Amino acid sequence: MQAPINPSISVDIVVFGFDGTRLKVLLIERQKLNEKATTEYKLPGSMISEKEDLDTSAHNTLQNLTGLKNIYLEQLYVFSNPNRISSDEDKQWIEHTYGISTNRIVTVSYFSLVKINLSILKTTIQGMAFWCDVQELKHVSFDHKEIILKGLERLKSRMQTTPVAFELLPKKFTIKQLQNLYEAILGIDIDNRNFRKKILKYPYLIQLNEREAKVSHKPAIFYQFDIHAYRQEQRKLKKLKIF
Amino acid sequence: MQAPINPSISVDIVVFGFDGTRLKVLLIERQKLNEKATTEYKLPGSMISEKEDLDTSAHNTLQNLTGLKNIYLEQLYVFSNPNRISSDEDKQWIEHTYGISTNRIVTVSYFSLVKINLSILKTTIQGMAFWCDVQELKHVSFDHKEIILKGLERLKSRMQTTPVAFELLPKKFTIKQLQNLYEAILGIDIDNRNFRKKILKYPYLIQLNEREAKVSHKPAIFYQFDIHAYRQEQRKLKKLKIF
DNA sequence: CCAAAAGTGTTCAGGATACACCCATGA
DNA sequence: TCATGGGTGTATCCTGAACACTTTTGG
């Protein structure tokens, strides 16, 4: 852990969460360098150590921030514009934080999905982090807004081809919650009957013996996602698509 | 162009081509450090300059190698294992080639598709490059075999969702050539009638007034891919998929 | 006229879409 | 008993899969 820092490479993570209605991204409050500056926010991340794999660096950052170990994480994209760190504030903040004066950092961004629950809320608030509505990004430093938009694209595409939606929902969820998630992120309306038909066909969605409580309408049934059943299913079906 | 080299970051490119029957990848002969060593091969690529965007670096490498400017290129994956350059030969080769002695290089790999034709064959042969059958990789240095496999996965997936196949075929091609390409890369058999039906429905495949010449069977008609018609089509159709 | 590969149509099953009402609960 | 959101079925269309013979050319 005491290996020197590599002054050229950083890791930044786009962590998405869903509060039931809106898509959120986790931002860190960037320490002000002087009192009168407005508060700026950045993605969680850090420079990497010379002995460290990038995936490991991303995992560690996430674990420190959320207290969680097994979080969905994948490489997103490399941002390498030689001028991506251009403002004086940015340079000063880097020098102040890492003790290096460089004007060229290549960042490898990661894409992560977590369930927003009480436990994670407690930990993230302690870490000067906050869940920002993806539609209302402002005061985001560096090129981190661009990175978040890249992450959003990835999320939209992944949601349609793999079951990552369940990373954003509680373990037990209703079909309506799942539909709301798809509608919110993809920005579309989905017919409820057709959605249920499609979803409930899948053998890896398990109906539980539990319902919503204390709601003043017909209580919804909870379901659970069975990843093993999903993987087994995948091994069989591989149908050809030609764009 | 005289900016210093960044000693931590390299770019490596997986360039795929199709010879009509087999999928090929472009490898560079790595200069031997002593006479009795066996010849080793590596991916085209280089360390990056401090003033250079990674995409630019990849483009330049490709242009030097193929003489071509507008080549299909996208980021593939970052390989960052701290021990990915472990053998003494690897380290010596790097020191000899770039004049830097480092034991940690992070490489950003790229994925590229080209049409193998006479012009490109001439240029690549001059550059100590050769087109290696993807099924018969051997004497590949560093972790470049792993990178190639990652590229192959990307190719399979891209071919099924976007029209990258046409990057690998000549401008004028027959439907059978297209089918052969899909069969070779995906490793499957495709029903010829269903394939034609599917493909020829697309308004962006344009039938030409030309046929094969001098073949001792019914000559096939040539087609061309119209990227503008494709893009126009895409703007309309965006249908929901749920994995 | 023969060999070799190109090109062609139909049937059937399963998936996607459109659409409107009844059900269970708490207040 | 009413307001609220959960849950259900059918008809139609479209797409994907299976399958065998005729056509055109050069030799």
Over residues B56-103, the pLDDT tens digits come to: 999 999 999 999 999 999 999 999 999 999 899 999 999 999 999 887
Q: Which residue type occupies B4?
A: P
Q: State the average pLDDT over residues B167-181.
A: 98
Q: Do A8 and A54 contact (CB within 8 A), yes or no?
A: no
Of B20, B16, B59, the closest CA to residue B154 belongs to: B16
The answer to whether position B98 is within a domain reads yes
Q: Do B218 and B175 contact (CB within 8 A), yes or no?
A: no
Where does a domain end: A108, A131, A161? A161
A115 and A24, same structural domain? yes
| CATH number assigned to the domain comprising residue B203 | 1.10.10.10
A217: the nucleotide nearest its CA (via C1') is C25
A21 and A42, same structural domain? yes
Q: pLDDT tier at A84 (50, 70, 90 boundaries)?
A: very high
Q: CA Rg, chain B, in Å?
A: 20
C26 C1' to A224 CA distance, Å:
26
Q: Do A223 and A174 contact (CB within 8 A), yes or no?
A: yes
Q: Is the pLDDT of residue A193 over 90?
A: yes
Residue B231's contacts (CB-CB under 8 Å, 6 or more residues apart) are none
Query: What SS3 class is residue A189?
Result: coil
Q: CA Rg, chain A, in Å?
A: 20
pLDDT tens-digit readout, B105-117: 999 999 999 999 9
- Enter the tokens of residue B224: 């061309």
Asked if the C-beta of A9 comes within 8 angstroms of chain B's C-beta atoms, the answer is yes
Is the Cα torsion angle B114, B119, B125, B130 positive or negative in sign? Answer: positive
Q: pLDDT tier at B238 (50, 70, 90 boundaries)?
A: confident
Structure-model confidence comparison of residues B236 and A185, the more confident one: A185
Asked if the C-beta of A97 comes within 8 angstroms of chain B's C-beta atoms, the answer is no
The average confidence (pLDDT) of chain A is 95
Q: Is the pLDDT of residue B1 over 70?
A: no
- Residue in A80, A103, A180 to test binding to B, most B beta-carbons within 10 Å: A80
The answer to whether position B223 is within a domain reads yes
The answer to whether position A243 is within a domain reads no
Q: Which of residues 218-237 of B touch strand C (CB under 7 A)?
A: 218-221
Asked if the C-beta of B128 comes within 8 angstroms of chain A's C-beta atoms, the answer is no
Q: Do A8 and B6 contact (CB within 8 A), yes or no?
A: yes
Q: Is the pLDDT of residue B2 over 90?
A: no
Task: Identify the domain containing residue B176 by its residue range.
Answer: 171-236
A179 and A156, same structural domain? no
Where does a domain end: B159, B194, B222? B159
User: Which residues sit opposite B186 in a β-bridge?
Assistant: none
The answer to whether position B241 is within a domain reads no
The answer to whether position A16 is within a domain reads yes
B200 and B155, same structural domain? no
Q: pLDDT tier at A31 (50, 70, 90 boundaries)?
A: confident
Q: Do B101 and B95 contact (CB within 8 A), yes or no?
A: yes
Query: How many domains, chain B?
Result: 2
